[in-house]
């Protein structure tokens, strides 16, 4: 798929909070990121990093404050913004009985995209899986599965890429693949990543710290 100039996309968090009953996952978050930018959400385990990603994606609504996602000058509600998003997280599911290539094709079709052989080869190469795309995902190591999740999140060139623990189960080579993916996303839109790894936080232009850090 040909690359083009990044779209005009912004994510604006204004005093955003999310509670579950009487327990706050986080609150009072204010930040802004726009096309070409990378925002890192950091904090210890249980500080609400993954929850904030879900609020940005529209999977959860904020309890207080607002989340505004603007694409091409249009303010996107929680439902419409999902078409703009690629999402990768350690708990995301892959289909073990399918090959890596078949998984990529499946997730692309869900987004209305059909991938040619060159698209698939490029996606696998970028995460260090070229030559393993025909293997069953059930036979992948945990690191290989996470690399495939990153490829699936980015393969349709989303305007908004959300990465939860992008370096999970990755060795040094895999972490470099993840960093490259984030850098390429600068030409496509925005990356928001959740991490407590300072190496990954260093990829960002701005950092939101949760949990009182």
Strands 190-194 and 74-76 come out as unpaired
Which pLDDT tens digit goes with each residue over 157-192? 999 999 999 999 999 999 999 999 999 999 999 999
pLDDT at 7 over 80: no
Q: Is 90 exposed, middle or buried (CB count within 10 Å of its CB: 0-12, 13-18, 19+)?
A: middle
Which pLDDT tens digit goes with each residue over 115-157? 899 999 999 999 999 999 999 999 999 999 999 999 999 999 9
Query: Do 177 and 147 meet the contact criterion of CB atoms below 8 Å apart?
Result: yes
Using CA atoms, how far apart are residues 147 and 2, in angstroms rounded to an integer?
Answer: 22
Domain 9-209 in CATH 1.10.620.20? no
Query: Do 42 and 55 meet the contact criterion of CB atoms below 8 Å apart?
Result: no
Whole-prediction pTM value?
Answer: 0.93
Q: What are phi and psi of 47, to 5 degrees?
A: -85, -5
> Taking the CB of residue 28, how many other CB atoms lie within 10 A of it?
12
Using CA atoms, how far apart are residues 102 and 95, in angstroms rounded to an integer?
Answer: 9
């Amino acid at each position: 798929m040909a690359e083009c100039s990044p779209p005009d996309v912004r994510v604006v968090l204004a005093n955003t909070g999310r509670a579950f009953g009487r327990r706050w996952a986080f609150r009072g978050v204010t930040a802004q990121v726009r096309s070409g930018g990378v925002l890192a959400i950091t904090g210890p385990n249980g500080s609400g990093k993954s929850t904030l990603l879900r609020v940005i994606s529209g999977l959860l609504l904020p309890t207080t404050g607002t989340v505004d996602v603007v694409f091409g000058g249009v303010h996107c509600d929680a439902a419409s913004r999902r078409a703009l998003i690629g999402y990768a997280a350690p708990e995301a599911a892959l289909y073990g009985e399918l090959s890596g290539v078949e998984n990529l094709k499946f997730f692309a079709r869900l987004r209305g995209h059909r991938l040619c052989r060159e698209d698939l080869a490029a996606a696998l190469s970028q995460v260090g899986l070229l030559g393993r795309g025909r293997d069953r995902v059930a036979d992948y190591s945990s690191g290989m599965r996470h690399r495939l999740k990153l490829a699936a999140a980015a393969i349709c060139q989303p305007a908004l890429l959300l990465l939860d623990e992008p370096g999970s189960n990755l060795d040094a080579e895999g972490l470099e693949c993840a960093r490259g993916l984030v850098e390429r996303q600068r030409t496509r839109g925005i990356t928001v990543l959740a991490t407590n790894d300072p190496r990954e936080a260093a990829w960002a232009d701005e950092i939101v710290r949760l949990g009182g850090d």
